Structure 1
Amino acid sequence: MTLLSLSDWFSWLLQPAQRTFWGFWLSSALLALAWAARHWSQRAGLLRQWLSRDYWWHPSARQDYVLVAINIALFAALGSATLVLILYVANISFESWSALASPAPWAPWHGPFSALLYAVLLLLLDDLSRYGLHRVLHTRWLWRIHRVHHAANVLTPITFLRVHPLEKLLYQWRTALLHGGLSGSYFFLFGQHSQPWLIFGISGTVLMFNLLGANLRHSHIPIRYGYFERWLISPAQHQYHHSMRGSRCNFGSMLAVWDRLFGSWRSGAHRAPLPQHTLPLSQQLLLRRSS
């Protein structure tokens, strides 16, 4: 077995396409600071708690770190394997369409509009499939693996990576099936490879999603998006999902439209009131888990 390099262990901090890229941690910290500055007297204590050693070295957080290390070790070779699976699915998709009709029937219309259509379709289907898989993970049998994620007593940005290896594998298969199937279909229709919407080499939608505070979803900083919560899942909405009352709500990843469509949407206003920051952290967490 090949030993992992230092870059392998910390790739989740160094890859701009990942939510846990260090730059997105910085943007989340700035967003949390701006949020606290609006009502400093009430919110400064929560911000100090977020930056405290007690928070980041809580037993629950240490469990997160162990699970991250286990998954890195188990899935070190699966990054390339997932890419191979995507290409394999794309080829199957292209061959399947080709058995029904001649390739590239829409080739004359290939251009900016078709690229935009692909980007929008990929965004919607990717987010819908995440919603669907997440909701299925809350059913009786798959909950046995998903509850590893919900067992965290403290939500930190690392909790995003606190998943059972089988759950991680399910999400990788989801990615391969969707992205491979859609890219193969696009190549069949237009005779050209699909090009995602990129900003500085990063998916544009992923970049905006992460800059809007995705890393604060697993935290106690209850940022809300106001009216836009009807369209986008805010940190407060996902925090409510992690509460005992809200575990059947807000399954969405980026868009809130699927929760609204299927009756599982709740705004961030439903999030349980934050305990007084003057309480010890252990008591705050106990109150939070019982809400």
Structure 2
Amino acid sequence: MDGIVNFITGIFDAWRGQASDPGKQCVFAFLLLLLALDIARKGWRISWSRRAVESVAATLAIFHINIVLIPGLWLLSGEIETLYGLLGIPSVPGAVWGNLPVWALSLVAILAHDFANYWNHRLMHMKWLWPVHAIHHSDPVVNGLTTYRVHALEMLVMWGSYTVLLTWLGLPADAIGIGALILLLHNIYVHIDVDWSHGPLRMLVASPRFHRWHHADVPEAYGKNLANLFPFFDWMFGTYRVPGPCNAPMGAAGVPRNDVVQLTLWPLLEWSQMATRGVQALRAVLPGWLARDTGVREPRPLDVKAE
């Protein structure tokens, strides 16, 4: 009984934390501003087509499911931090950062965070983690709220990767907080439904056009433009692609679009199918391996035409 009470209390704490966090309030105000600009630019009817309403409703549902799961994610992320501590990895002494102003430390935090995010993002576009990240790519109407269309397991993967890749830096908490807020606001910005480029700054700061090509449902765009803020990471590691204005459809082939139940279960369903295919493939080749290792030839069909 105490476990149930603690779980429910954790959910309410998560709700209160989201509502009272100044950073989240800043994000909410930013989303309202983007909505007002979008309506002013396109008009109410175009901005709120039926497909767009369905997309936003599904994203909000996924967001609230994640709120319910946050207490469990906190516990799991705490276990990851404990395991990291057991590794005994040395960290940069705090004195190294002591003489730098907060703005400079925030820039270091943003650069380090985006470098880590590039690699965990690249990992999530590979076979076994793609079913987790596919939920983010399922949105057929990419907009500012798409930022929050992520599976709870993706949040856990990201927290775990940040623990491993960034903890050793020992950056001050205020610099990390400022950097995280800037990155979140920029992440919302690159998801808005516009085809803006940044001209001569396009390799320095990611634009909505850069990120729309990442969400484009065309084979040549798969696994491209993985950096959130700094496109030069993609240029350095061979994943940059912005051939021009993006008129391609958004989404991910084979992934449900706005079916919240299927999207929530999607990683488990895909992993079970992948495991089944793996077992079937293993069963198909295992007799041949055993025969080769033991020197026993596999039985061959009788040739009735032989003398």
Cα gap change, 1:122/1:288 in structure 2, threshold over 3 Å: closer, same or farther?
closer
2:61 matched residue in structure 1: 66
Partner letter of residue 236 of structure 1? R
Cα gap change, 1:83/1:17 in structure 2, threshold over 3 Å: closer, same or farther?
farther
1: distance between equivalents of 2:102 and 2:81? 19
In the TM superposition, 1:1-291 aligns within 5 A as 1-2=4-5, 3=8, 8-9=14-15, 11-12=17-18, 14-18=20-24, 21-29=27-35, 44-45=41-42, 48=44, 51-52=47-48, 54=50, 56-58=52-54, 60-76=55-71, 78-79=73-74, 82=77, 86=81, 89=84, 96-97=89-90, 111-113=98-100, 119-183=106-170, 194=172, 196-197=174-175, 202-203=177-178, 205-210=179-184, 213-245=186-218, 246-267=221-242, 269-272=244-247
Which deviates the most, 15-24 or 262-271? 15-24
Deviations 1:29-71 (A, max 9, x none): 47658xx7xxxxxxx33x545742636522x332222221221
Partner letter of residue 175 of structure 2? W
* Structure 2, gaps ≥5 residues long: 253-307
Secondary structure, aligned partner of 2:205: coil
8 Å Cα contact 1:12-1:21 kept in structure 2: no
Identity rate, percent: 21
Number of aligned residues = 244
1: distance between equivalents of 2:33 and 2:128? 37
Deviation at 1:22, TM superposition (A): 1.0
Deviation at 1:13, TM superposition (A): 5.8
Deviation at 1:131, TM superposition (A): 0.6
Deviation at 1:27, TM superposition (A): 4.6
Normalised by the length of structure 2, the TM-score is 0.64
Partner letter of residue 253 of structure 1? N
8 Å Cα contact 2:116-2:161 kept in structure 1: yes
Secondary structure, aligned partner of 2:202: helix
8 Å Cα contact 2:59-2:145 kept in structure 1: yes
Deviation at 1:262, TM superposition (A): 0.8
8 Å Cα contact 2:147-2:187 kept in structure 1: no
Larger relative contact order, structure 1 or 2 (CA cutoff 8 Å, min sep 6): 1
Cα gap change, 1:214/1:125 in structure 2, threshold over 3 Å: closer, same or farther?
closer
8 Å Cα contact 1:83-1:176 kept in structure 2: no
Partner letter of residue 240 of structure 2? W
2: distance between equivalents of 1:249 and 1:156? 19
Partner letter of residue 68 of structure 1? F
Secondary structure, aligned partner of 1:271: coil
Secondary structure, aligned partner of 2:100: helix
Cα gap change, 1:55/1:10 in structure 2, threshold over 3 Å: closer, same or farther?
farther
Normalized per residue, the structure richer in helix is 2
Cα gap change, 1:61/1:143 in structure 2, threshold over 3 Å: closer, same or farther?
same
The two structures, once aligned, show a CA RMSD in angstroms of 3.8
2: distance between equivalents of 1:6 and 1:53? 33
Which deviates the most, 137-146 or 75-84? 75-84
Deviation at 1:258, TM superposition (A): 0.7
Which protein shows a greater Rg?
Answer: 2
Normalised by the length of structure 1, the TM-score is 0.67
Deviation at 1:135, TM superposition (A): 1.0
8 Å Cα contact 2:206-2:229 kept in structure 1: yes
Partner letter of residue 234 of structure 2? D
